[in-house]
Chains A and B, each alone.
Chain A
Amino acid sequence: MNGINFIKDIVLPPLLEGTWVTIKLLVFSIPLGLLLGILIAGGRVYGNKIISFLCASFTVFFRGTPLLVQLFVIYYGLPSIGIYFSPFAAAVVGFVLCSGAYHSEYIRGAIQSIKSGQMMAAQALGMSKFKAIIYIIFPQALRRALPGCSNEIVYLVKYSSLAFMVTCIELTGAGKIIATRYFRYTEVFLVIGIIYLLMVSVVTRLLSIVEKKLKIPGLG
């Protein structure tokens, strides 16, 4: 069978199925990871001593260890204390926790970069601290954190391939299976590489559109 037909008929169909799984992983992980990052950052800056310490420890642990270890603990480790996840769910949990930790650092930095006068002015209008955080501080901080967070999201697109390490058959996993069966690693993984490059370009483009949409003169 010649190269082109081999790729078109044998390789592409399972790869596209795998791509679909990768996309589903990302659709769950990206927003939840961002949300977690916001909560952790908020807890670190505004929480009491205990909450702030817990949030800091969380960040130190998840930024200081490989995502692979985290996935192994979640998928292979947690069942020994009675918590079971499907491969897909384990991957999503790992991605959310890990990307949340990275997001939280960008968001925390952004919150702290906002002048104290903003909080004061909001309180002077009669806003509670909570309202001031939600309506005044966060909208500014999240915009400032966006470039960092976008980078993190692009990283996640690539690191989603580690889901395969906990037996979730996404794009890389589907490719590994096909490549092993036909012993054609180079072609298969080049195709996979192109698909990842495409996904990365699309996500980067989307994020830069979001960034432009949210852009405000003088903030950023």
Chain B
Amino acid sequence: MQKDNTIVLRVEDIYKNYGNVEVLKGVSFEIKKGETKVIIGPSGSGKSTLLRCINQLTIPDKGRIWLENQEVTHTKKNINQFRQKIGMVFQDFNLFDHLNALRNVEIGLIKVRGMGKDEARQKAIEELKQVGLEEQANLYPAQLSGGQKQRVSIARTLAMDPSVILFDEPTSALDPELIGEVLEVIKKLALNGMTMAVVTHEMGFARSVANEVIFMEDGKIIDQGSPRKLFTNPEHARTRKFLSKITELYGRSAEKK
């Protein structure tokens, strides 16, 4: 894992309320280049909101976010330029239903980055190869399995050459037998030095891939540290409780994966 100490993403004291509900209560962390950060925690703890705040699909009430030393929040600059650099992979894929796999990957290149058609196609095919789907390039979303859809959506994100990719529970909508192929792709990205933040319930994945694991509950970061430390010797009782519960739910097998 190539890693240097440049900070790619810095999240500083983020707050977000929906009406009276405080979803995020002052979250801060940073991701260094080549690092994979896994965020775990019970449902409703604010993990997905946190990811959406990072690329400003949700605007935080307070706090600042920096991408490679440029401020993303309160910026005069077009947010869309940041969003190109902050890739996002959704739980329910959100592939563009009217475009086949190849064109799903191309469209950002052509319409956002203004790349020429031939070049974009070349690159899109490369990215599909990365996720092992060059054969399926001409199929439409409705013709792909859930795992294939998610891999296309990863290729779509990769095509933009992002500085960091945010994964929002990328395997939660998948049938168990399809989870592996998606995790495999993400793992490969980690090995190749991609900078990533992954929200997931796959503890086995977290353990084997994460450089650091963040445990969130109730809108706050409760615990963080290396997977070894967090999984074997968590500092907080709540972390321990969550981990034993999730192991019960997902079974030991998930951990071994």
Q: Which residues of A contact B (CB under 8 A)?
A: 115, 117-118, 120-128, 131, 135-136, 139-140, 143, 216-219
Which residue on chain A has the smallest CB distance to residue B140?
A217
Given A217-B140, A218-B141, residue A126 in contact with residue B80 (CB < 8 A): yes
The answer to whether B112 and A218 touch across the interface, beta carbons within 8 angstroms, is no
Chain A binding surface, main DSSP class: helix
Which residue on chain A has the smallest CB distance to residue B97?
A219
Residues of chain A within 8 A (CB-CB) of B82 are: 126
A33 to B63, CA, bound (A): 48
Given A127-B111, A127-B112, A217-B142, residue A140 in contact with residue B98 (CB < 8 A): yes
The answer to whether A125 and B160 touch across the interface, beta carbons within 8 angstroms, is yes
Residues of chain B within 8 A (CB-CB) of A125 are: 83-84, 107-108, 112, 156-157, 160
A140 to B94, CA, bound (A): 13
The answer to whether A122 and B98 touch across the interface, beta carbons within 8 angstroms, is no
B interface, how many residues as a size bin? 20 to 34
Q: Which residues of B contact A (CB under 8 A)?
A: 55, 57, 78, 80-84, 86-88, 90, 92-99, 107-108, 111-112, 140-143, 153, 156-157, 160
8 contacts between A and B (CB under 8 A): A115-B94, A117-B93, A118-B96, A125-B108, A126-B80, A126-B112, A140-B96, A216-B98
Of the candidates B99, B108, B140, the one whose C-beta lies within 8 Å of that of A126 is B108
The answer to whether A136 and B96 touch across the interface, beta carbons within 8 angstroms, is yes
Pick the most buried of B86, B88, B98, B108: most chain A CB atoms within 10 A of its CB: B98
Rounded to whole Å, the gap between the CB of A47 and the closest CB of chain B is 21
Residues of chain B within 8 A (CB-CB) of A117 are: 90, 92-94
The answer to whether A126 and B81 touch across the interface, beta carbons within 8 angstroms, is yes
A125-B160, A126-B112, A140-B96 are known contacts; what are 17 more A-B pairs with Cβ within 8 Å?
A: A117-B92, A118-B96, A121-B88, A122-B96, A123-B83, A125-B112, A125-B156, A125-B157, A126-B81, A126-B84, A127-B111, A127-B112, A131-B111, A131-B112, A135-B111, A218-B143, A219-B98
3 closest cross-chain pairs (CB), A and B: A218-B142, A121-B94, A126-B84
The answer to whether A121 and B112 touch across the interface, beta carbons within 8 angstroms, is no
Residues of chain B within 8 A (CB-CB) of A219 are: 97-98, 140, 142
Residues of chain A within 8 A (CB-CB) of B55 are: 124
The answer to whether A139 and B98 touch across the interface, beta carbons within 8 angstroms, is yes
A9 to B186, CA, bound (A): 77
A135 to B103, CA, bound (A): 12
The answer to whether B80 and A140 touch across the interface, beta carbons within 8 angstroms, is no
A140 to B98, CA, bound (A): 6
Which residue on chain A has the smallest CB distance to residue B52?
A120
